[in-house]
Amino acid sequence: MTHHDWMLSGDKPWNAEQKSICKHAFYSPSTANDQFRAAFDDITNSLIKEHSTKLRGGYFLDAVRDVGNLSHAIFMAQLWYIPLTKTFTAKHLHDAFSSVFQYSFLDLDPTVSFKLRKDGRAAAAKLASIIEPAVKAVLHPGFNPLKMVEDVLGVGVKHTALHDYGANLLKRIAATGKDTAYIANTVVPTAAAGGPLPAQGVSTHLIPHPSCSGLSFKSNLPLLSETIPTNPPHHSLQ
């Protein structure tokens, strides 16, 4: 799809090498997971406030569509310097990730294979055209993350710690001697897997299992209440 191999597409020494490179690049800071959680907290809180609708004394939102899916797309956008605009929103980015993911891992039904491949290739090409220039800019001598955010992502976009983490992550991959083409073609499928897959995990936690009949699902979500500034009496997620 990207005309390049990827770490999860086989078990050859090349695949193992890329897995090792990416593991080091992502998790060599001992605080990596803590930093990721903090970023998700900020993004999730912002989305809950943005998409909550007050109704009958409570606040309602579609937790999967408006929080789970979008939070992971926004996380990846900040990590990889992907500009989100009115014509290419977090929803469009999530859909692009999903197309690449489905083509890579779910191309099992011959009756829909042609469409999956067509959409997957188009999405991968779109993502590559966005990510490769960002990789080159980050690795350019004199890189300035604050200026990068303004120039690439647009005036008014808030610089976050995740932008700095993403830049250092790309530099750690480059330090292994890999060129920008290798890095960009590593990022595209990695970002595609890192968007829809965790978002799907969020939805499975939010949707009650049939074996949980008789339990109150809505009452188990009070943790979200602190994100609504007006402190309403209860919240419901759809």
SS3 for 106-157 is CCCCHHHHHHHHHHHHHHHHHHHHHHHHHHHHHHCCCCCHHHHHHHHHCCCC
- Top pLDDT among 220 and 198 is at 198
Is residue 229 domain-resident?
no
The residue ranking higher by pLDDT, 18 or 220, is: 18
What is the predicted pLDDT for the residue at 100?
Answer: 85
pLDDT of residue 93: 92
- Report whether pLDDT(206) > 60: no
Q: Note the pLDDT tens digit of each residue in 172-203.
A: 989 989 888 888 888 887 887 766 555 554 44
Residue 237 is assigned to a structural domain of this protein: no
Q: How many CB atoms lie within 10 A of CB 12?
A: 10
230 within a domain of the structure (yes/no): no
Sign of the CA dihedral running 140, 142, 144, 149: negative
Query: From CA 133, how far away is CA 72, in angstroms rounded?
Result: 22
Residues across the chain:
238
Percent of the chain clearing pLDDT 90 (strictly above): 5
Residue 124 CA to residue 149 CA, distance in Å, equals 23
The identity of residue 5, as a single letter, is D
How wide is the angle at C-alpha 131 spanned by C-alphas 200 and 15, nearest 5°? 70
Report if residue 214 sits inside a domain: no
Compute CA distances 116 → 31, 69, 174, whole Å.
38, 20, 32
Average pLDDT over residues 209-231: 43
Burial tier of 116 (Cβ tally within 10 Å: 0-12, 13-18, 19+):
middle
Is 231 inside any structural domain?
A: no
Range of the domain at 137: 13-207
Report the domain count for the chain: 1
pLDDT band at 227 (very low <50, low <70, confident <90, very high): very low
Report yes or no on 162 lying in a domain: yes
pLDDT tens-digit series, residues 66-98: 888 898 889 988 888 888 888 889 999 999 988
Calculate mean pLDDT across residues 99-113: 80
> Contact, 178 vs 95, CB < 8 A?
no
| Look-up of token digits 């001697």 | 177
Confidence of residue 65 (pLDDT cuts 50, 70, 90): confident
Report if residue 219 sits inside a domain.
Answer: no
Does residue 227 fall inside a structural domain? no
pTM: predicted TM-score of the whole model, two decimal places: 0.74
| Per-residue model confidence as pLDDT tens digits over 108-161 | 788 888 888 899 889 888 888 888 888 998 988 888 888 888 877 776 788 888
pLDDT over 60 (residue 215): no
Specify whether the CB–CB gap between 100 and 90 falls below 8 A: no
Amino acid at 20: S
